[in-house]
Chain A
Amino acid sequence: MLEYIISKYNFWVYVILLLIGLYAMVGKKNLVKKLIGMNIFQSAVILFYVSIGVKKGGATVPIFLGNAHAAHGHGHAIIDVASYINPLPHVLMLTAIVVSIATTGVALAVLILIFRRYKTLELDEIMKIRKETGV
């Protein structure tokens, strides 16, 4: 059992982070904590992607060392795929990181608007104010 967990530890890490994030988003009453939960949630997905690019058996980062022609397909050096980790998930995650930062930015701006309106960021207090004003 322990071996099973250790052999797939990257998935366990991401699942645990995902659940922490989900709990914070659903269970916490403070809006900033919800936002932090959202960040953890997104980071979990990013870590998941990054970890699936890894290959076992001494694969390294894909830095191209051969002559320039090989890159265009008519050189003689054939790149051995097994000796390099897969860079594609990492590149995808660059986009996802940008997206997550943009989302955080928008969410923080929205939190400022909420704070100006209600003078608090606790969800239950906001709900009380909304009920009193009849909105």
Chain B
Amino acid sequence: MATHFAALIIVIPLIAALFVPVIGWWKKGLCYPWVVAVLLVPLISSIGVLNRVIESGPFSYYLGGWAPPWGIEYAIDYLNAFVLVIISVISLIVSIYSKKSVEKEIPEKVVPFYTLFLLLVTGLLGIVVTGDLFNVFVFLEIASLSCYALIAIGRDGAPLATFRYIIMGTIGASFYLLGVGYLYIITGSLNMLDVARLLPELYHSRVVLTAGIFMIVGIGLKMALYPLHAWAPNAYADAPSTVSGLIAPLMTKVAAYMMIRVMFTVFKPVFFIEVIPVTSILTWMAAVAIIIGSIYAIAQTDLKKMLSYSVVAQIGYIALGIGLANKSGLTGAVLHILNEAFTKGCVFLVAGAIVYKMGACNINEFKDLYRKMPFTMSAFLIGAFSMVGIPPTCGFFSKIYLIMGAISADKWIFVAVLLFSSVLNVVYFFRVIQIATFETPMPDYGRDKAYEAVYMDEVPLSMLIPIQIMAAGILLSGIFSSKIISTVIQFVIPVGF
């Protein structure tokens, strides 16, 4: 059993997804416990996989017993296993949260929702677990297709946002596929490790150059990296709350994982640093993404839209860490994937809770929210702290590593960008907190009317507990960040950094 953990991560949710319509046809209410129970399997398996990697180093799993490079190989190393655990934890938490929110927002579409939910998680896990370039494309499209459908059932305007996402997402996936095609022409292999072994002698071939560029642009589109981000804010904001709670923390981060994989495993770091200077372009695009994303976030009055622009900004941090291409920078980028998963999960679930109670999430109507929903909003506060980078939240540590990376790369402008973006984050998060906390009538002794009574009106426990777990995750991953780095992330850094 334990030897097949790597395959179980994919197979169980995929098969279980097919059973959801059957179960839903029999009893609609059983879909939810089924999905939660099924998502425990990837969680246990991915923790088992991470354990094995920590104990005995990276290993391979041959799907169906076919040896690479002919068969599909699941090559598990520290980076894979780490991201797998993140995905399975977040998706389990969101699935627990989903019950009340889905019943209220999309009551007639519960069964398709849970089917697509499982397929989306399968796709995301598959992208990460596989060691085959074409297999990545297949899982990428499984994830994207279920993601399109999930976004389209959202609030008014969602179909248009989805259509835009379909167009952009397809361009991204096709570019990635073209890149893989060129790599196949020149190496005759699709296995990542095999391609990585064959490529270094061919680095000065124009075919390899084309392949590299196509793949990076394609992944950049999927990653919503500025200036290829146009689809992201509307798609994330208009999706049903549970869906934005799942895709905002995971979708773009999985693409960021793909970028690390392509840049540092399939191609050796030397290719993108010296042969073509992609990394330096990436850092500049990331810097612009951070600033522009934050400024757009300030301009929004809708909480979910504000958070979506914040996703664009935060993807910039990860891209900056990748682009700096040194030890601290990449450590910061990988830690920021963890941080973003918990932080964005937390704040988007809070936004979902607010939508659940108020029907919308216009920031200007947040008056007295801290008194109505004290537990939810305190989780939001922790998320905001992490976004700004206040210790001991994880955001502080990932940012400090990114800043150290920028310093050791001697690029002081990015240090300034990172610090300035913290200030911008303060502006847009503390505006929400200010309205929700302090916008109460000051004691006015000369007035006639009685105070308006504000009663506590919390969301149900099945929504509150996942939010609190996310908030706890932000704090714990911050407190234990040095342990996470010393046991996992330091082994992610490729040789030569």
Is the CB–CB distance between A106 and B167 below 8 Å?
A: no
Nearest chain B CB to A14's CB is how many angstroms away? 9
Query: Is B252 in the interface zone, CB < 8 Å from A?
Result: no
Is the CB–CB distance between B171 and A52 below 8 Å?
A: no
Q: Write out the residue numbers on chain B whose beta carbons fall within 8 Å of the beta carbon of A102.
A: 141, 145
Query: Is B299 in the interface zone, CB < 8 Å from A?
Result: no
Most buried by B among A49, A106, A114: A106
B171's partner among A25, A92, A109, A113 (CB-CB below 8 A) is A25
Nearest chain B CB to A127's CB is how many angstroms away? 9
Q: Write out the residue numbers on chain B whose beta carbons fall within 8 Å of the beta carbon of A38.
A: 166-167, 170-171
Query: Do A114 and B141 form a contact, CB below 8 Å, given A49-B181, A52-B181, A52-B185?
Result: no
Is the CB–CB distance between A48 and B181 below 8 Å?
A: yes
State A52–B137 Cα separation when bound (angstroms): 19
Is the CB–CB distance between B184 and A52 below 8 Å?
A: yes
Query: Is A55 in the interface zone, CB < 8 Å from B?
Result: no
Q: Write out the residue numbers on chain B whose beta carbons fall within 8 Å of the beta carbon of A74.
A: none
* Residue-wise interface mask of B (326-365) relative to A, using a CB-CB cutoff of 8 A (1 in contact, 0 not): 0000000000000000000000000000000000000000
State A126–B174 Cα separation when bound (angstroms): 28
Is the CB–CB distance between B156 and A117 below 8 Å?
A: yes
Is the CB–CB distance between B157 and A135 below 8 Å?
A: yes
State A126–B157 Cα separation when bound (angstroms): 10
* Residue-wise interface mask of B (157-178) relative to A, using a CB-CB cutoff of 8 A (1 in contact, 0 not): 1011011001100110110011
Q: Write out the residue numbers on chain B whose beta carbons fall within 8 Å of the beta carbon of A67.
A: none
Is the CB–CB distance between A41 and B171 below 8 Å?
A: yes
State A7–B149 Cα separation when bound (angstroms): 43
Query: Is A22 in the interface zone, CB < 8 Å from B?
Result: yes
Q: Write out the residue numbers on chain B whose beta carbons fall within 8 Å of the beta carbon of A111.
A: 163
Q: Write out the residue numbers on chain B whose beta carbons fall within 8 Å of the beta carbon of A96.
A: 137, 177
State A117–B162 Cα separation when bound (angstroms): 14
Is the CB–CB distance between B178 and A48 below 8 Å?
A: yes
State A60–B171 Cα separation when bound (angstroms): 33
Q: Which residue of A lies closest to B174 (CB)?
A: A45
Q: Write out the residue numbers on chain A whose beta carbons fall within 8 Å of the beta carbon of B184.
A: 52, 89
Is the CB–CB distance between A42 and B159 below 8 Å?
A: no
State A126–B156 Cα separation when bound (angstroms): 13
Interface residues of A in 1-50 (CB under 8 A from B): 22, 25, 31, 34, 38, 41-42, 45, 48-49
Is the CB–CB distance between A41 and B163 below 8 Å?
A: no
B160's partner among A48, A52, A109, A126 (CB-CB below 8 A) is A126
State A110–B152 Cα separation when bound (angstroms): 7
Q: Write out the residue numbers on chain B whose beta carbons fall within 8 Å of the beta carbon of A126.
A: 160
State A51–B178 Cα separation when bound (angstroms): 13
Nearest chain B CB to A19's CB is how many angstroms away? 12
Nearest chain B CB to A107's CB is how many angstroms away? 5
Interface residues of B in 287-327 (CB under 8 A from A): none
Query: Is A130 in the interface zone, CB < 8 Å from B?
Result: yes
Most buried by A among B137, B152, B177: B177
A114's partner among B137, B159, B185 (CB-CB below 8 A) is B159
Nearest chain A CB to B462's CB is how many angstroms away? 30
Query: Do A42 and B157 form a contact, CB below 8 Å, given A34-B167, A110-B166?
Result: no
Query: Do A103 and B141 form a contact, CB below 8 Å, given A45-B181, A130-B157?
Result: yes
Number of interface residues of B (CB under 8 A): 25
Is the CB–CB distance between A99 and B160 below 8 Å?
A: no
A45's partner among B148, B156, B177 (CB-CB below 8 A) is B177
State A103–B169 Cα separation when bound (angstroms): 10
Query: Is B370 in the interface zone, CB < 8 Å from A?
Result: no
Nearest chain A CB to B102's CB is how many angstroms away? 19
Is the CB–CB distance between B167 and A110 below 8 Å?
A: no
Q: Write out the residue numbers on chain B whose beta carbons fall within 8 Å of the beta carbon of A49.
A: 177, 181
Is the CB–CB distance between A103 and B166 below 8 Å?
A: yes
Is the CB–CB distance between B171 and A103 below 8 Å?
A: no
Query: Is B213 in the interface zone, CB < 8 Å from A?
Result: no
State A52–B185 Cα separation when bound (angstroms): 7
Query: Do A110 and B163 form a contact, CB below 8 Å, given A22-B171, A45-B177, A52-B181?
Result: yes
Is the CB–CB distance between B162 and A99 below 8 Å?
A: no
Q: Which residue of A lies closest to B169 (CB)?
A: A103
Q: Write out the residue numbers on chain B whose beta carbons fall within 8 Å of the beta carbon of A92.
A: 134
Q: Write out the residue numbers on chain B whose beta carbons fall within 8 Å of the beta carbon of A135.
A: 156-157
Query: Is B138 in the interface zone, CB < 8 Å from A?
Result: yes
Q: Write out the residue numbers on chain A whose beta carbons fall within 8 Å of the beta carbon of B170.
A: 38, 41-42, 103
Query: Do A113 and B159 form a contact, CB below 8 Å, given A92-B134, A102-B145?
Result: yes
B166's partner among A48, A107, A117, A130 (CB-CB below 8 A) is A107
Q: Write out the residue numbers on chain A whose beta carbons fall within 8 Å of the beta carbon of B166.
A: 38, 103, 106-107, 110
State A76–B156 Cα separation when bound (angstroms): 67
Is the CB–CB distance between A113 and B152 below 8 Å?
A: yes
Q: Which residue of B lies closest to A126 (CB)?
A: B160
Is the CB–CB distance between B141 and A110 below 8 Å?
A: no
Nearest chain A CB to B219's CB is how many angstroms away? 16
Most buried by A among B145, B149, B162, B163: B163
User: What would 30 A/B residue contacts be, using CB atoms closer than 8 Å?
Assistant: A22-B171, A25-B167, A25-B171, A34-B163, A38-B166, A41-B171, A45-B177, A45-B181, A48-B178, A49-B177, A52-B185, A92-B134, A96-B137, A96-B177, A99-B138, A99-B141, A102-B141, A103-B141, A106-B152, A106-B166, A107-B148, A110-B148, A110-B162, A110-B163, A110-B166, A114-B160, A126-B160, A130-B157, A135-B156, A135-B157
Interface residues of B (CB under 8 A from A): 134, 137-138, 141, 145, 148-149, 152, 156-157, 159-160, 162-163, 166-167, 170-171, 173-174, 177-178, 181, 184-185
Known contacts A25-B167, A114-B163, then 15 further A-B pairs from the complex at CB < 8 Å, ordered by chain A residue: A48-B178, A48-B181, A52-B185, A95-B134, A99-B137, A99-B138, A103-B166, A106-B152, A107-B148, A107-B163, A110-B152, A111-B163, A113-B152, A114-B160, A135-B156
